[in-house]
Amino acid sequence: MALIEAMRPRQWTKNLFVFAGIVFARRMFDVSALMESVGAFVLFCLLSSSVYLINDLVDMEQDRRHPRKRNRPIASGRLTKGAAAGTALVMAGAGAGLSFLLTPAFAAIAMSYLALNVLYTLALKHMVILDVLSVAMFFVQRAAAGAAAISVPISHWLLICTILLALFIALSKRRHELVLLEEHASAHRASLTEYTPYLLDQMIAVVTASTLMAYCLYTVDARTMKEIGSDRLMFTIPCVIFGIFRYLYLVHQKGEGGDPDRIVVSDRPFLVNLLVWAGIAAAAIYWR
């Protein structure tokens, strides 16, 4: 149970970005493409879990000084370092090896995802600005890999929206860590000493506006309307606005933001809004 917990299956929700390609390419009912997308999702779950184990091994001492992370299996001692390291190697090897069963492009992105994650764990997470940019790139790689798995081009607007949304989430998480840890922030992560709540609020404001504008432009882009066959995707804009504002409310008023995957499933207004967005988007893309 400790090993399963350390693999963080709850955070596999981030790998749902793999399905962006098949959804917006209007191939959800293509059984072959759907199976390939599911395979890509499973492989990214293997790769991401291996990275979580490696990250917890590297950050074990720092996590023990964190009020929440000290309860993680490795930091608390419930999972031995040997078991965690062995499982991480097996999962990383399996994920990387099996990725070649899909397409060469998918395998290349999967390998780059694994490499960037290891580099992030060892160095980039301690470098100001590069830390949040790296996290944003992980989401872009997921979306790009999903498209590569079924050999379809992915909209540039969709990639832009993905990286901006990921930056919004990553910056909000950094703000939560900074406020939660206060004077102990530097002991947990070196890059936190370079941030202040005011600086992060400024960055979040820029990214928030950019995300909303990029998504609005994506929905009314000529290529998007041509592929979908109408401009109905613009009806999802109010849901996106509410979702971002609700997330900001939870970060600033409720002290949330440190655990984005928990917010998605535990905050009822956010979850309902997400389901409404998905319903409208599905109708806009697939209903004729």
Mean pLDDT, 10 residues at a time, over the chain (288 residues)? Answer: 89 90 88 94 94 90 79 88 92 93 94 93 89 92 94 88 92 83 59 84 94 94 85 93 93 77 84 94 86
Query: Are 130 and 244 in the same domain?
Result: no
Contact by Cβ (8 Å): 219, 233: yes
Question: Are 42 and 120 within one domain?
Answer: yes
**Residue-level pLDDT at 271:** 93
216 and 122 share one domain: no
My answer on whether 269 and 225 are in the same domain is yes
My answer on whether 129 and 15 are in the same domain is: yes
Same domain, 74 and 197: no
Q: Say how far apart CA 241 and CA 238 lie, in whole Å.
A: 5
What pLDDT, on the 0 to 100 scale, is given for residue 187? 56
Work out the angle between the directed axes of helices 81-98 and 104-122 (0-180°, nearest 10). 150
Q: Which of 115, 134, 154 is the last residue of a domain?
A: 154
Count of structural domains within the chain: 2
What is the distance, to the nearest Å, from the Cα of residue 225 to the centroid of all Cα atoms in its chain? 27
* CATH of residue 23: 1.10.357.140
Both 103 and 178 in a single domain?
no
CA 180 to chain centre: 22
Q: Tell me how far apart the alpha carbons of residues 190 and 141 are, in angstroms, rounded to a whole number.
A: 26
Q: What is the residue range of 284's domain? A: 155-288
pLDDT at 258: 64
Domain identity same for 136 and 168: no
94 with 159, same domain: the answer is no
Contacts of 206 (CB under 8 A, 6+ apart): none
Residue that is last in its domain, among 92, 123, 154: 154
What pLDDT does 186 receive? 55
Between the alpha carbon of residue 283 and those of residues 23, 226, 254, the distances in Å are 11, 16, 33
79 and 5 both lie in a single domain: yes
The runs of H, that is alpha helices, within 150-259 are: 156-181, 185-188, 197-220, 222-228, 237-253
Statement to judge: residues 8 and 145 lie in one domain: yes
State the pLDDT at residue 266.
Answer: 83
Do 162 and 127 reside in the same domain of the chain?
no
pTM of the model: 0.87
> Between the CA of residue 33 and those of 147, 158, 162, 261, what are the distances in Å?
10, 19, 22, 26
Q: Of 154, 175, 202, which marks where a domain is finished?
A: 154
